[in-house]
Structure 1
Amino acid sequence: MRVLQTLTTGPEPCTYLPDQEATLEHVVVAQLSPEEYEQKMNDGWRKFGPVLFHPVCARCQECRPLRIPVAEFVPSRSQRRALAKNAGLEVRYARPTIEPTRLALYNRYHQHQEAQKGWPVGERDTDDYAFSFLHNPVPAVEISVWEGESLRAIVLADVTPSTVSGVYHYYDPTSEGSSLGTFAMLQTIALAQKLGKPWAYFGYWIATCPSLSYKANFRPCEVRQDDGQWQRLFV
């Protein structure tokens, strides 16, 4: 790993827990091997593009990395329904890319989440998107979901020796009732299965934040504890 810069932001109002303040440590890298990033994830870090980060909040430790043991995963009844509802869609794998259709879908999704869930303004231009998802020091995969020639969802994932790590996903907000978001999340696990990876990583989980608590619906799952050990969340 070759580090270009380290910095800390905050404390500032937390995006996920309104009564808390967030402080993040960031590391900007010029080089990062898949093995190094996997170790950083196991140490509690995540990243967008070349920027690694993890919370170092003074009064809160609610952000906990969550992972799925792929060989043990069994879809729930609602997840099986999501698979059935979207069985006619085509799933494609490629390198991450950016063009107007993807950027428009990303921004429509964020506008919907801003209106429905109070998310902060998240509109991106081509440069923002490329920095977060394309300027990647480790191998990455874009999973795209299509209905004919219409793009319905995108899942962006990093690949390390033992993991497929879900970086971000977004989908057509007009597809309410189709469980397209759940279907998209399941594609991260499906890719891990295809690649023979033992783990699918889903980023940070917060039990009391609806925007992140849903990740524990994919079971069994494990969360990282303060001592660095992973503990099964549901038996």
Structure 2
Amino acid sequence: MRHTLPLAPQFYVTAPQPCPYLPGRMERKLFTALQGDGSGKLNDSLSKQGFRRSQNVLYRPSCTDCAACLSARINIADFAPTKSQRRTINRNQGLTRRATSPWATEDQYDLFRRYLDSRHADGGMADMDVFEFAAMVEETPIRTRVVEYTDTQTDDLTAVCLTDILDDGISMVYSFYTPDRPRDSLGTYVILDHIRIAQEAGLPYVYLGYWVPGSSKMGYKAKFSGLEVFVGGKWEKMRGEDDYSAELHPLSTDPIAEQVANISLPDLSRPAAVKL
């Protein structure tokens, strides 16, 4: 008997676990699998609705009484670098960019481990081994690139970003960099360079993941002009940081069935066009 995958994505909810952004809270995610020929179309559609990719899964926070996590993207047309960001660009002129296929290397993993040990030693990825790292990079059913930044003088790998190509922009799935150059603001530089990549490709958005009011880990995202956040089922130009609340409320999140019913899905019955 021949079995085929269902055309309509199936959505699931994770069990609650400690929130990595706001202490004392529990997080829960709504997720679906990325599989089959329609993966690219599904990723494009759900990214516009606040979802993020992790390997072959698309997920969005769906906590019972918290709606603090807001998907964030930079509207390239509204972006203008600050003086501080222009200085960051100038400080990193000695870096060269190279985009490759999603293939993990030992140099990448060594840099990844140094980054985690310095910045996120108690985070959810702290125990990730080389095989799990390779899976994070290589298990992608869509158009993905590994963007590497190398110091032209030392030839050292300095920063890396796992980047998805969407139909309306690029999504920065995960980035890491050397902890040995704190004054160079490498995290900010990688975002600034991805804005440049989007401009060069004629794409309107750079997706940054989630911005969380009240979380110091996510505060840097609010420093980019042209920032938009996904609120109430639509994108809006970000107002002042104080206009967004991380307070708990029992009515902050719709029931799961209602959330799923309100997700707009692409037509997966027709094969996607092949991009060469």
Q: Which runs of 5 or more structure 2 residues have no equivalent in the other structure?
A: 1-5, 241-276
Which residue matches 1:127?
131
Query: What is the aligned residue count?
Result: 232
2:227 equivalent among 205, 213, 221: 221
Residue 43 of structure 2 contacts residue 58 of structure 2 at CA under 8 Å; is this kept in 1?
no
CA-based RMSD of the aligned residues comes to 2.0
- Superposition pairs for residues 134-153 of structure 1, below 5 Å? 134-148=138-152, 149-153=155-159
Structure 1: how far apart are the matches of 2:156 and 2:117?
Answer: 19
Residue 110 (1) aligns with residue 116 (2): yes
Which residue matches 1:87?
93
1:48 equivalent among 41, 44, 54: 54
1:38 equivalent among 16, 29, 44: 44
CA 1:159/1:45 → structure 2, altered by over 3 Å: closer, same or farther?
Answer: same
Q: Normalising by the residue count of structure 1, what TM-score does the alignment of the two structures yield?
A: 0.91
Structure 1: how far apart are the matches of 2:157 and 2:105?
Answer: 12
Structure 2: how far apart are the matches of 1:194 and 1:100?
Answer: 30
CA-CA distance at 1:84 after TM superposition: 0.6
**Matched residue SS, 2:65:** coil
Task: Give, as a single letter, the amino acid of the residue that structure 2 aligns with 1:173.
Answer: P
Residue 55 of structure 2 contacts residue 137 of structure 2 at CA under 8 Å; is this kept in 1?
yes
Residue 67 of structure 1 contacts residue 223 of structure 1 at CA under 8 Å; is this kept in 2?
yes
**Matched residue SS, 1:87:** coil
Residue 34 of structure 2 contacts residue 42 of structure 2 at CA under 8 Å; is this kept in 1?
no
CA-CA distance at 1:121 after TM superposition: 4.9
The structure where strand makes up a greater share of residues is 1
CA-CA distance at 1:120 after TM superposition: 4.0
CA-CA distance at 1:96 after TM superposition: 2.2
CA 1:223/1:59 → structure 2, altered by over 3 Å: closer, same or farther?
Answer: same
Task: Give, as a single letter, the amino acid of the residue that structure 2 aligns with 1:184.
Answer: V
**Matched residue SS, 1:230:** strand
Structure 1: how far apart are the matches of 2:217 and 2:7?
Answer: 33
Which residue matches 2:192?
186
Q: Which runs of 5 or more structure 1 residues have no equivalent in the other structure?
A: none
CA 1:134/1:3 → structure 2, altered by over 3 Å: closer, same or farther?
Answer: farther
CA 1:140/1:2 → structure 2, altered by over 3 Å: closer, same or farther?
Answer: farther
Residue 77 of structure 2 contacts residue 226 of structure 2 at CA under 8 Å; is this kept in 1?
no
Residue 75 (1) aligns with residue 81 (2): yes
Structure 2: how far apart are the matches of 1:133 and 1:121?
Answer: 14
CA-CA distance at 1:225 after TM superposition: 0.6
Question: What percentage of residue pairs aligned between the two structures are identical?
Answer: 30
**Matched residue SS, 2:182:** coil
Residue 167 of structure 1 contacts residue 203 of structure 1 at CA under 8 Å; is this kept in 2?
yes
Deviations for 1:36-74, whole angstroms, at most 9, x for unmatched residues?
212101222111110111111011001111111112211
Structure 2: how far apart are the matches of 1:187 and 1:35?
Answer: 26
Residue 200 (1) aligns with residue 213 (2): no
CA 1:109/1:63 → structure 2, altered by over 3 Å: closer, same or farther?
Answer: same
Which residue matches 2:102?
96
Residue 60 (1) aligns with residue 66 (2): yes
Greater Cα shift, 24-33 or 48-57: 24-33
Q: Normalising by the residue count of structure 2, what TM-score does the alignment of the two structures yield?
A: 0.78
CA-CA distance at 1:131 after TM superposition: 2.1
Instruction: Compare CA radii of gyration and give the structure with the larger one.
Output: 2
Deviations for 1:161-213, whole angstroms, at most 9, x for unmatched residues?
11111101100001111111111121221111111101111111102111112
Residue 133 of structure 1 contacts residue 156 of structure 1 at CA under 8 Å; is this kept in 2?
yes
Task: Give, as a single letter, the amino acid of the residue that structure 1 aligns with 2:46.
Answer: K
Residue 49 of structure 2 contacts residue 234 of structure 2 at CA under 8 Å; is this kept in 1?
no
**Matched residue SS, 1:30:** coil
Runs of 4+ in 1 over 6 A off after TM superposition: none
